Amino acid sequence: MRVLGIETSCDETGIAIYDSELGLLSHQLYSQVKLHADYGGVVPELASRDHVRKTLPLIRAALKEASSSAADIDGVAYTAGPGLAGALLVGAAIGRSLALAWQKPAIGVHHMEGHLLAPMLEANPPAFPFLALLVSGGHTQLVAVAGIGQYQLLGESIDDAAGEAFDKTAKLMGLDYPGGPLLAKMATAGNPTAHRFPRPMLDRPGLDFSFSGLKTAAANVIAKAGTDDQARADIAASFQQAVVDTLVAKCERALQQTGLNRLVVAGGVSANTSLRQQLAVLLQQRGGQVFYPRKEFCTDNGAMIAFAGHQRLVAGQQQDLAIAVQPRWPMEQLSPI
């Protein structure tokens, strides 16, 4: 089966084509970073309008890259949630309309399931069951995964997600949008022990996260700091270390609680070098393995949607004719395969 995947949940338009036998045939991605940079964050209406402009041209480019035509496509997958309602509707309307015109089945894909399954696109995919850390600008979750659609939420952020905390702290430091990757780059020149920031919620049981207090602590230090480059690098390094320590400690706690020995890490923050280094040490100590998508698939992309949609279409699942999205959509509501 050959599946066209469409991702338009936020500020990136991602299109890909996945084939059951040949794997990923094409991958097209357009980022709206420059569009939203002047506003310091995503403007939903602008995001939706840009998806309208970019989705069809990218679909044409993906078909050309895959040496395919509409007749070669056996199904269409699109992100149905969670995400920005207007942005989701663009991809859902286009995806559902193409499927209807081509007389092919369509499936609405859960955005976070796409991230969770993205490492399956790699040469050494993880076997079920495993623990997943989904960590991005909008989500920080720990999920026990028994199979596709068999998800148990173990813990999540009760306020700011880890990526959101990175971006907000970077903005306080005057870094351009999106600031998270810039803060991580600045941290490489800093001393991670220069400031002792809190490791939120490690002093209590459970697997939930909270990063708003850490962001506030960083804001207080930033307000007192000068413009010296080394001082700013030290703040960045200390902040990053606090986030990474918290994520790693919660992963260790979840691995112990579940007895699992395989960890999947996905989402934009999964590209963070410091996080990868510390998780590698943790899993090596436990005799386990950690799996990631390739870095270009850590952020939002069409490949993960094409793959996740393919799994469900092959299993016989598909949408009816209604064009429906779910800006809020708990992953536990998904049906198993």
**Which residues line the annotated binding site for substrate?**
134-138, 167, 180, 272
Give the other-Cβ count within 10 Å of 272's Cβ: 25
Residues 6 or more apart whose Cβ sits within 8 Å of residue 204: none
Q: Using DSSP, state whether 130 is helix, strand or coil.
A: strand
Q: How far apart are CA 202 and CA 257, in angstroms?
A: 15
Distances (CA, A) of 164 to 136, 139, 160, 212, 214: 7, 8, 6, 9, 12
Q: 239 and 196 in contact (C-beta within 8 Å)?
A: no
Q: How far apart are CA 15 and CA 297, in angstroms?
A: 12
Q: How far apart are CA 78 and CA 312, in angstroms?
A: 12
Q: How far apart are CA 150 and CA 147, in angstroms?
A: 5
Q: How far apart are CA 118 and CA 307, in angstroms?
A: 8
The residues that bridge with 151 in the sheet, in sequence order, are 145
Tokens of residue 325, six digits: 């999205």
Q: List the binding residues for Fe cation.
A: 111, 115, 300
Q: How far apart are CA 272 and CA 280, in angstroms?
A: 12
3-state helix, strand, coil in the chain (%, to 5): 45, 20, 35
